[in-house]
Amino acid sequence: MYGSGILKGMSLVLQTMLLKKPFTVQYPEKRIEPPRRFRGASFVWYEDRCTGCATCAKACPQGNIQIITTEGQFNQYFVDRFDIDHLRCMFCGLCVEACPYDALFMGPDFENASYSRASLVIGKKHLNAAAPTRIPSSYFHPELDRIDISSGRPVPEIRKAEQEKNQDIGWASR
């Protein structure tokens, strides 16, 4: 009463002003490292593992994965086109969850602004070029949680080693 409540609030503000460090960071210079499970842009896709089954396309609520395949000689499919439309993607991750062969992963990027709409439809060429260097997100793949990003080894190799180490956490036991 008699203004003591206001004074209490004012003292809290003064303490914060004098003692607390800013909680925010200055974005372009400093950036917060997203966690390993971050569900971000630029999907990581391994063509050698993809069988062209298009389960991801069926699982996508928006229907923005386009797969065109041709039949091969020995009961197999070759993926001719694999287009992901980032413009309509809402990064729900259902495609990653659906993929039975661990060929598709979410990526770590969150800065995917672009000047042209066409460049946001990511195709096979782009995905293939990015696959060896991009670190796949461990979303829906907890076995990748502990992956050592800084070691400099090619990512597929690490991934393979990790998966062999955790055989029973992979697809087989899901």
44 and 105 Cβ atoms separated by less than 8 Å: yes
Q: Is residue 1 part of the contact set for other proteins (CB under 8 A)?
A: yes
Per CB under 8 A, which region of 38-46, 67-75, 147-155, 158-166 contacts other proteins?
38-46
Site size toward other proteins (CB under 8 A) is 46
How many H helices and E strands in the chain?
A: 5, 5
Q: Is 4 in the site for other proteins (CB under 8 A)?
A: yes
Residue for token digits 């000689």? 73
> How far is Cα 167 from Cα 66, in angstroms, rounded to an integer?
31
| Total count of residues recorded for the chain | 174
67 near other proteins (CB under 8 A): no
| Closest to 77 in 3D by CA, of 90, 68, 85 | 68
Residue 145: strand, helix, or coil: coil
- d(CA 173, CA 169) in angstroms, rounded, equals 6
Distances (CA, A) of 160 to 68, 69, 87, 166: 27, 26, 31, 10
CB of 154 to other proteins, least distance (A): 24
Residue 43 binds other proteins (CB under 8 A)? no
Q: Which lies closer to other proteins via its Cβ, residue 107 or residue 124?
A: 107
Q: Judged by CB under 8 A, which stretch of 44-52, 114-122, 125-133, 134-142 contacts other proteins? A: 134-142
Confirm or reject binding of residue 172 to other proteins (CB under 8 A). no
Q: Interaction with other proteins in 69-108: which residues (CB under 8 A)?
A: 90-94, 97-98, 106
Query: How close are the terminal C-alpha atoms of the chain, in Å?
Result: 61
Q: Examine residue 22 and tell whether it contacts other proteins (CB under 8 A).
A: yes
CB closer to other proteins, 100 vs 123: 100
Residues that bind other proteins (CB under 8 A): 1-6, 8-10, 12-14, 16-18, 20-24, 26, 34-40, 55, 58-59, 61, 90-94, 97-98, 106, 137, 139-140, 142, 145, 174
